[in-house]
Amino acid sequence: MTASESHPSSASASGAFHPQRSSLRHDLRTPINAILGYSEMLLEDLSPEEDLEQILLNKINRAGQQLLEQVNQLVTPSSSAQVSQIRHSLRSPLTVVIGYTELLLEEMNAERQADLERIRSASQQMLGLIEQIILIETNPQCSPATGVAATDIAPGSEVELAAAGQASCEDLTGKILVVDDSLINRDLLSRRLERQGYTVKLSENGQQALQLLESQNFDLVLLDVIMPKMNGLELLRLMKDAPNLKDIPVIMISALDEVESAVRCIELGAEDYLTKPFNTILLKARIRACLEKKYLRDQEREYLHQVTRLTEAAAAVEGARFKPDSLAEVARRQDALGQLARVFQHMAAEVYGREQRLQQQIQQLKIEIDQEKRVRQVAEITESGFFKDLQQRAVLLRKKVNSDDG
């Protein structure tokens, strides 16, 4: 959701700012997410010798944390903070961010300058949002329109990443789909996740994400709640209703920290709910927990499938249909089921071998019986009176032939 999508109502006569504070807080936290995220990654890339850069980036990061604290404290539906107080509290740390960012832009290389430009753009966008507070106070009918969308604050083209991942519980990796309409959020998340060893694919709306989910395999989805075209709740509902997608874990992400929103997501089947800006340690832990849970679920399904294979093999032995290589996959397992499969495979092979030998013995016995039968039939013929009479007549006939020849 961008700044142009918020529509605050009028301010109160006392000057306290109450118009749609949840929406405003969402819009303010998006650039804060960029300030914190990019400054943290730049700090991670610094070498120990870069003392000055480290000092300035720490100041930027601390100012970003101060901005987040002020937004969480002052820009809430229950806050009675005056407009002037909100403006002053946010502009002071923003001035620190912009000032030190401009100093660092003169010192750092081109690659790091790109991230610093993102920090500066986010700060400028936040300044525009703050000025809308004054505009609304002086003109209650005016809607905020800074003209700067959250998806436009980062320079450069869209980050596109795709590869295959295979999860293992010891060295856990995986393929993660990040769905967020903000380019800055997609870029931050993808770079953070890649540093942790994950493969990342990006989507800017729910419809595009659904197409990717139907055509590729993913181990986890990080899904923004508020998006155009198809919001996160609609995509989550579609995923949980689809047999081929319902088992993919989903972590909902949003700049809104309202309990009702989190409860709704969990009720629809989300594994977890995280708010922006992200705590990087918490994000890493939640993602790993989800992937480990999915890995164990997948292992359980595979285990049950291979138990079925073993049961079918037992029935095949009983029906004399067993094929020795039918349990090769199960026998490769290194657990108790694999050992059972190897023992069963060996025993079944012995049974199969004995049956083959028995069949050969039966066949040989049939041959011997047939031979014995033919011998008896010949003996019965040669020992009969008719055959003996023929023999005598044959002897007399040979003698007569011999005497005539003589």
- Give a yes or no: residue 381 inside a domain: no
Number of domains in the chain: 3
CATH code (residue 239): 3.40.50.2300
What's the DSSP call for residue 181?
Answer: S
Residue with tokens 């819009």: 27
318 and 277 in one domain? no
Please give the order of strands across the beta sheet that includes 250-254.
199-203, 175-179, 220-224, 250-254, 272-275
| Residue 127 in domain | yes
Q: Which amino acid is at 29?
A: R
Indicate whether 78 and 191 sit together in one domain. no
User: Do 132 and 81 share a structural domain?
Assistant: yes
Q: Which long-range contacts (CB under 8 A, 24 or more apart) does 297-305 make?
A: 297/247, 298/167, 299/169, 303/337
Is 114 in the same domain as 238? no
* Residue-by-residue pLDDT tens, the chain, 406 positions: 433 333 333 333 334 444 455 667 778 888 898 899 999 999 998 888 888 888 889 999 999 999 888 888 877 766 666 666 777 788 878 888 888 888 888 878 888 888 999 998 888 888 878 766 655 544 554 444 433 333 333 333 332 222 223 334 445 678 999 999 888 888 888 888 988 889 999 999 999 999 999 999 999 999 998 888 888 999 999 999 999 999 999 999 887 666 777 888 989 999 998 887 777 778 888 898 888 888 888 888 888 888 887 777 777 776 667 776 777 777 778 777 777 777 777 777 777 677 777 878 888 888 878 888 887 777 777 777 777 777 787 777 877 777 776 6
| Domain-terminating residue out of 266, 294, 322 | 294
Q: Any idea what the CATH number is for the domain that residue 44 is in?
A: 1.20.120
Q: 12 in a domain, yes or no?
A: yes
Q: Is residue 405 part of a domain?
A: no
The residue with tokens 């320079």 is 155
Cα separation of 281 and 295, whole Å? 21
Residue span of the structural domain in which 56 resides? 3-152
Task: Looking at the structure, tell me whether residues 142 and 22 fall in a common domain.
Answer: yes
Same-domain check for residues 8 and 147? yes
Which token pair is 326? 């039918």
- Assigned domain for 386 exists: no
How far apart CA 17 and CA 165 sit, in angstroms, is 48
CA 344 to chain CA mean position, Å: 36
Q: What is the spatial distance between Cα 146 and Cα 24, in angstroms, rounded to a whole number?
A: 13
